[in-house]
Each structure stands twice: as structure tokens, then as C-alpha cells.
Structure 1
């Protein structure tokens, strides 16, 4: 689309935008966010019924707030310290400053008694800042990544400030029930507030300065995908033909295995490659019979940990292909770039086995995308028990990705699984994903948030209500 300041704008392909864009349109909402270009100022503009409000970041902000505190402090800490977090005071100061900028932008465009829904770990201070600026607002927050156990979270020097920031919200959403429980324990340990079930009682004052207790809801709302969009693509004859073409290009192996991930140390890509390599080494698989396609989308390439991970993965792929591949039959087809959604759905249809081996994951929507795409009721999902999706997709083959032998056994079980069992498992998985789609996620969160709104606040329309009309 054309930007108001000239040049073109491209909608983010991420699941969050897909989930919330229809919601913005039916409510004449405003989307406050970074436009993705450093050191540039943009005026707010309208697009498809939503008002877009850009918040500018400098190159230094990107380095300190985003690459630094968000992705080299919070991300590894919240993912159980799979990589060592870095703690730098200047990064924290930048995080505070940028969160304040977002809070001020949201406060400036929110209507009287309006609703603001804050998204993800990069903005955990915004709810309390926003409440201070605009006490009339109803504020929701959703955390798209795990929230760690207190023994890990307590390492953070600014642990109290983060929890205090989150408690500015009326409703705080997490991916898993365990994450909500971890947050409640952090509240009790750090502040001594009552946190029973999903209800946290926060001391506050009313407009006259008298002491009151605010009730904050903290519970899990597992996020999902636009399942019907994947179904439509999977039923497209052109996409189905592309799936057959992919298998032909691979030499029509008996089994195609697939991994699709951001190139991130939380995804267990190395564990998956190790298990596959050992099966080849032991002669239980051959490159002529089975191939692993690994799509590894580029991620945070200016962060040293991610550059090192790429080198490690590509070295492992090269060794396995050198040792076990043959002319016309690579053992692993490694692809370090992203693909448009139709090509991804074709890959899902071409894959007999989907490998989701995350060491820690808030949800993992790729697992749900694979299931939604399998309109043929075929294919086997191997899913890490440490991904949030494991709470819902119980008909997958659940594994501990740290158990390499267990993963190898699961791969062989998936390859040998009878068609009748594959169909039964996939139908159960598809029922879950299709019934609990992204509209149900947003509607369930907003329904709970609506119950916290003061009398006289303008109604917020959910997608379910919009469709009913």
C-alpha cells in the first residue's frame, strides 16, 4: 500500500497482524507500532478501516531497546536461559524510554473510556505507564512468549519494575496455564499481593486518593491461527500441484520430513538435525528413502548468538549431506529464507512428517498451520512437549527434544504409522485447530476484558459479534 509520506508500505506477514487487523477494522481502531525503519518520522495514516500510528525508533533504540534488552535480555531469560541473558543498564534505560514513547502515543489516540490491547514482551511497562497517563482506559496485555518460573525470573535486576508494569493492565493473557501460574508466583514473591487462581488484587487509590483494591485477571488464552485461510489454500488445485511438484523435485522419496522455524536457539533445530543424522549413521534411514527439508527463516542477524547459531546449523547440515547424501539425493534440503504462504502450504502438503522440536516455545503456530493445511487428513505431527501447542494438540506424537533417542524412535514410528492411525490422529488435531481459531482467541480475551470495563464505556465489538450481524 502507499504510505502517506510517499513510498510503499507492506503489511507484516506475522500471525499477530493477521489476528488483529479484522478487529481493528470493525472497531475503527488504531494500531500503534514501529514502522520497521529506523531514524524516520511518519505521520499517522488510515488503511483499510484502521488508523496506523507510527512510533519512531532511532538506530540506537533498535540496538539497545530491541536487539539488546528485548532480544538479548528478556528473550533468553523468558525461554529458560537456553542462551545466557545479558544485563546492561543502558539497555534497560532504553527499554523504559521506548515503552514510555509507546504509552504516550497510545494515550494520545485512545478515545475517552476506550480500550487498549498491548502486545508482547517488548512493551511490558506500557500498561502501568498508560494507566498513569489515562486512568479512564481499559487495558489488556498479551504475552506471546513464555513467562518463566520465579527461580529464573528472579535473575532479572529489574524484575519488580516489569511485574509492576504488567499489573497496570486489567487483563494479562498468557499462552499456557503454567505461564499464568509463574506470573502469579512472581507477584506474590515480589509484592506479597493476593494472587489466587486467575485473580490478582493490587492496592491502588481512587480519584480522591482513598485506598482501594484493583482486580487484575491473569490467565491463559492460547493463541491460534486463521485456520480457514490455510484450508482454502490447501484446497487450491495449484497449491496441491505444487506439493506434488516439490516431491518430484526431491526425487520422490518415500518420506518427506519438514521443519519450519525462525533460525532461533529456542527451536531445537540442532537437536532435530542430530537425531536425523544419527538415523542415517545407524543405517535405519537412507538419503534415498527419506529427506529432511529445513526452512530456517533469517532472524536477528545482528545479534552474535544468532550468527553463531547459523554457523553451527549450516556446518551440521554440510557434514550430514557430505557423509550420507548422493548425487541427486541430498539428505537435508536446507533453506535459509522465508517463503510466501502458498509455498508454505504446498510444503505442508508435501511433508509426510512435520517436526516441531522447540526447546521452549510460547505456542508454535507452525504446528497449527501444518494441521490446518492437511485437508487430506494425512501426515504426522511430531511435537515438543515444551511448545505451548502441546497443551492442545494431544493427538500429535509428543516428544522431549532433549531425548535424542526418543526423537529418533518417534521419527521411525511416524514413518511406519498405518494410514488409519494417521487419519484418526489428524482428524482429532484438525477439530481442535479449526474450532479454536484466531477469532476465538481474540474474542475470548476481549470478552474477559469487556467485563472489567467501567459503566458507560463504549462497547468493543468482537469478530464473533461482527459476523453475527
Structure 2
């Protein structure tokens, strides 16, 4: 397994060195797979105390409390991290892939660092293979060059990659100055996976109009240099059983009751949103819809509280700093507009939550809002459903999130259509208990059936065919 984000990072605390599970939808999905299957997970060692706990091979056995696999850490210099991660990956490829009207930035020095880090990870993969046959499973847009680099050195190894974010249409992709190199790199994979068939088609169209290759639309494959790459849709999911088990615990029941008590909503409605502070997540649009909702439906003033939770993200990137400031500014304006003596409509906590805390907030809430402007899948929506073991609660889900294709029983929203969004908040709060149960039961059945182990199983089955 190869990813930029590591499943565990180590930091210093008053008790010495401790570990943290970073906020990452990708890591959330992959961790149970690695725990079940074992192997080696290669990732960037980004924690301040990461070097303190590895052996001479940069290995550490994880999970810390019950080791099941090996984490191999790759070290990056500040220059490499700035150019590779903050620069090319997240100022270039991230906005390029998400249609949210944010212009991507491509710098020659960032591209050089991106190439260098992909080469560094290739070296780590080759070392961990020890000259033996194997499967390499690469995660996400940070490593668009990696599969080709691996295949050039080890053509016998089966390589698959999952692209966790959308793939843009071919016209949008044209602005990338290194597009041909990226496309060639991705075609080093035996299997390249996306969340949706729509993203697969976008990729095939991009290939067909940019580089020399044979595109087979019937097989959903691309042949370049005489070697075929399969392009497949694998909608990612979650460990439904694990989240449902947490949600069913007495500890979670107690904590969810405390949450409602803490925010004085025992007799009110509580909404929740859990996201990184990211301009693709539609947080400002969410707040604008709450403002419109309170304007249109005054009976809910003083009776509805919305909790926005999640960590600050990529703050070293100017666009993210500006967005973080804008989110706070909009929240203050709305609260100043509507606040009463003992009530304000929006409460925001910019914190990283443990999975147990996330589940407790989901259990406490009457509704959950996922209002992404553009999203490959969005696992928050599925986590909310898995947490609702009471078959209660309402999910408001952006039509622009990949999860909307799988969860038609959610209340669909267009985050940019503020009045319609506001109406759906009201519809959620006024929905009958029977209708809530009907919708939630169907969504729970769907997510339970299409869980992360089934997702991984489909990919591994395709990889074995290629062996």
C-alpha cells in the first residue's frame, strides 16, 4: 500500500511520545483493509516524533495497540513537502480536479519536487518488494507518476491505483502544463480506479484527446506501448460494522446525550456537519442556507442549532487561509444577525475528532449536512448512516458528491441554490418519524452491503486476474 498520508503519526506530549490518527477520508477507508490483510504501508512520515519510533529500516508495526501490518515511513525535506504536497498536489491537481471555480497554480519548482518525491517513493516500493512478485496498491493524486516508475523497474509487479478525487473533463484538464506526463504515468497501472463510471469516461476522453494510445470504450481500457490498463469504477465505502458497533455502545449513548445537554438542545433540533475546512466542502454555502432558512421559517429561530466540526486544513496554502477566515467571518455575521439571549444558530469547533466523538455527534444530531461543491465520494455521508443504529436522523446530501449516486433516499441539495437548500433543511426537520425510518433503513442496507471490504475485494479480484 502506498499513500501520502500515514495512518498513524507520532507526536510529543506530556506523557512522552504518543500517536494520533490523522483526519483523512482515504486513511479511514484503507486502515481496516490493511488491518485485515496485513502487508507494508508506505507513507510520508509527517509527525514530529515519527523518527523516534521507527527501526533502522524506517519501519514500525501498527496499529500500536495490536500490530497487524508494517508502516514504512518515507522522509521528505521541507522543500520537497512544500513543492510536492502543498504546491503541485494541492495548489495544482486538487483545484484542477474539483470544479469549484478555483484556478489551479502550476509552478516549475513544484513540478520538480513532485517528480522527485514520486521517485523517492518508487525507491521505497522497490526496496520493500525485496525482488519478489507482489501487488502494489497506490492511493490518490499525489502519485500520478509512481506506477510508471515502478513498472519501468519491475514490469512483473501488478500495480493498481485508486484516484480518490474526481477526474475533470478533458477541456478542464488541458490547462495542466504537465498533462501528458501525468497521463503516461497513470497508464503504468494495470488497474486504475475511480469512484464513478462518469470519472472513468472523463479519463478515457482525456487520454483520447491528449496522448498516443488506443482507447477501448467497450472494455473501458487503454493500451499504450503494447500494454493494457483497465479503467474501472470502484465506489469506495466504510467499515460499516465497526462504526455501527461504536454507535451501539453505552459510552456513545451517554456521550450523545451529553452533547445535546452541552448545547442546550434537549428540546431543540441539532444539525451537524463534519469536514476539513476546505473550499470544496461548501461550508460557506451551508451557512448561507441556514441564514436563508431562518429568514424564511421564523418558527425555527431559537430552536435549531448547527454544529460545524472539523480541523483547519492546508493552512500553509494562501487560498486555504483565506477560506478559513471567510468561513469564520460568515459564521459571525449570521450569528450576530439572529442570536438571542441564550441561543445562536451556528457553533463551530475547528478540532480533530476521534472516531468515537464523530459517531457520538452523529447519534446526537437530528440531521447531517454534506454540501460539497464537488466531491469524489464523501465518506462522512456513509459514516453518518452507519452511526444511525436507531434508524433515525436525516441526511442532506449534495447532488455533486459521488455518494449521491448510491444514496437516493437522502434529501438532495444543490449547495449553490440557497432557497432550495433552505427548504430541504425545513423538510428534514418536519419529516415524520416513519419517513425518517424508511429512508434511513434503506440507506443503511445499501452501505452495509457495499462496505469497504467489498470495495477492496473487487479491486483485489481484478488485480489477481492481471497476475
Once the two structures are superposed, residues 262-318 of structure 1 have per-residue CA deviations (whole angstroms, 9 ceiling, x without a partner) of 100000000110010122234535442111111132100111111111111111111
Equivalence for 1:63: 82
Distance 1:315 1:13 in 2: 24
- In structure 2, the partner of 1:457 is none
Q: CA offsets per residue over residues 234-279 of structure 1, 9 Å max, x none?
A: 1112211221221122222431111111100000000110010122
In 1, the alpha carbon distance for the partners of 2:160 and 2:139 equals 8
SS in 2 for 1:451: helix
Name the CA distance, whole Å, in 1 between partners of 2:49 and 2:182.
27
Query: 1:467: which partner in 2?
Result: none
- Residues 105-160 of structure 1, C-alpha deviation per residue, up to 9 Å, x if partnerless? 10121152211001100001000010001111000000111111111111101111
Once the two structures are TM-superposed, the CA of residue 200 in structure 1 deviates from its matched residue by 2.1
Listed as ranges, the matches of 1:202-221 within 5 Å are: 202-204=223-225, 213-221=226-234
**1:406-417 equivalences in 2 (<5 Å):** 406-417=420-431
Corresponding residue for 1:75?
A: 94
Contact in 2 for aligned 1:19/1:439 (Cα 8 Å):
no
Label 1:380 to 1:198 Cα distance change in 2 as closer, same or farther (>3 A): farther
Residues in 1 aligned to 2:338 and 2:423: alpha-carbon distance in whole angstroms: 20
Aligned residue runs from structure 1 range 24-39, under 5 A: 24=34, 27-37=37-47
- 1:257·1:293 contact (CA, 8 Å) conserved in 2? yes
Q: TM-score, normalised by structure 2?
A: 0.90
Q: Which residue of 2 aligns with 1:224?
A: 237
Following TM superposition, by how much is the alpha carbon of 1:17 offset from its aligned partner in structure 2, in angstroms? 3.5
- Secondary structure of the corresponding residue to residue 52 of structure 1: strand
Match of 1:93 among 104, 112, 127: 112
Distance 1:222 1:125 in 2: 23
Partners in 1 of 2:227 and 2:164 — Cα distance? 24
Which sections of structure 2, spanning at least 5 residues, go unmatched?
A: 1-7, 11-15, 62-66
Deviations 1:324-381 (A, max 9, x none): 1123212111111111111211110111111111000111100000000001111111
Which stretches of structure 1, 4 residues or longer, exceed 6 Å deviation after superposition?
38-41
1:17-43 superposed Cα distances (whole Å, 9 cap, x missing partner): 344345445555111111114898663
**Per-residue deviation, residues 399-455 of structure 1 (Å, max 9, x unmatched):** 1111111101111111111111111000000001111111111111111111111xx
Q: Is the 8 A contact 1:385 1:398 kept in 2?
A: yes
- The equivalent position to 1:136 in structure 2, one of 156, 160, 183, is 156
The answer on 1:241 being equivalent to 2:262 is no
Q: What is the aligned counterpart of 1:305 among 305, 310, 319?
A: 319
The residue number in structure 1 matching 2:354 is: 340
Structure 1 gaps, min length 5? 205-212, 454-469
Q: Shift in Å at residue 66 of structure 1?
A: 0.5
In 1: Cα distance, 2:50 partner to 2:379 partner: 32
Q: Deviations over 1:180-203 (max 9, x none)?
A: 111111111112422314532323
Corresponding residue to 1:401 among 412, 415, 420: 415
Closer, same or farther in 2 for the Cα pair 1:330/1:2, shift >3 Å?
closer
Which residue of the partner structure matches residue 4 of structure 2? none
Residue from 119, 122, 127 that aligns with 1:108: 127
**Alpha-carbon spacing, 1:323–1:62, altered in 2? closer, same or farther (3 Å):** same
TM-score with structure 1 setting the length? 0.90
- Give yes or no for contact 1:253–1:290 (8 Å, CA) kept in 2: no
Distance 1:62 1:310 in 2: 21
1:293 aligns with one of 290, 307, 322:
307
Distance 1:34 1:68 in 2: 16
2:222 counterpart residue number = 201
**Inter-partner Cα distance in structure 1 for 2:9 and 2:231:** 39
Task: Give the equivalent residue in structure 2 for 1:463.
Answer: none
CA contact (8 A) 2:293 2:423 kept: no
Shift of 1:14: 3.5
Partners of 2:315 and 2:443 in 1: CA distance: 34
Indicate the residue corresponding to 2:3 in structure 1.
Answer: none
Equivalent pairs counted in the alignment come to 443
Change (3 A) 1:418 1:25: closer
2:209 aligned counterpart, secondary structure: helix
1:276 alignment partner in structure 2: 290
Equivalent pair of 1:76/1:85 in contact (CA under 8 Å): yes
Task: Report the CA distance between 1:55 and its aligned residue.
Answer: 1.1
Alignment of 1:355-374 (within 5 A): 355-374=369-388
Cα RMSD for the two superposed structures: 2.0
Q: Does 1:436 align with 2:446?
A: no
Alignment match, 2:64: none
